[in-house]
Amino acid sequence: MLAAIAALSFTAACSDSGGGSTSATSSPASSTPAPAPTNAGAAHITMKNFAFSPATLTVKAGEKITVVNEDSAVHTVTASQGGAFDTGSIAGGKSGTFTAPSKAGSYAFTCTFHPNMKGTLTVS
Ligand SMILES: [Cu+2]
């Protein structure tokens, strides 16, 4: 009798875990990416097509203002009176900054190279 073969009941409990438990709750990625609140209130002036934009700007005393030159020509933001502020030359494609006067008032400014460019800075 070859009954000794029966010892091969070696059914290891390798239960192939292909179970239908597909509980992979993939989050629908509806998390809105933070909309970068960086310079939300930062004052800035853009020079484009030989004009300031905006041409009139209201800022707080001593506020820092960023000036972006989108033209290819050199521009400045220069106070028309008393040298209240001046960015100096800003080459095309570059940017600069200036600081608003600490005294409230209305300050006309221009570009020293292009006097037709005019703007007004109001310090509140
Ligand atoms: Cu200019």
Instruction: Point out the least confidently predicted range of 36-40, 91-95, 119-123.
Output: 36-40
For residue 112, report the distance from its CA to the centre of ligand 1, in Å: 6
For residue 7, report the distance from its CA to the centre of ligand 1, in Å: 96
For residue 103, report the distance from its CA to the centre of ligand 1, in Å: 26
Per-residue confidence band for 123, with pLDDT thresholds at 50, 70 and 90: very high
For residue 26, report the distance from its CA to the centre of ligand 1, in Å: 55
Using a 10 angstrom Cβ sphere, with 0-12 exposed, 13-18 middle and 19 or more buried, the burial of residue 76 is buried
Contact between 69 and 95 under an 8 Å Cβ cutoff? The reply is yes
The pLDDT value recorded for residue 42 is: 86
pTM above 0.75, yes or no: no
pLDDT at 75 over 70: yes
Helix (H, G, I), strand (E, B) or coil at 6: helix
pLDDT at 114 over 90: yes
Percent of the chain with pLDDT over 90: 65
Q: Give 1-35 pLDDT, tens digit per residue.
A: 555 555 555 545 545 555 555 555 555 656 666 65
* Average pLDDT rounded to a whole number, residues 92-105: 97
CATH class, domain 44-123, is mainly beta
Contact between 84 and 101 under an 8 Å Cβ cutoff? The reply is yes
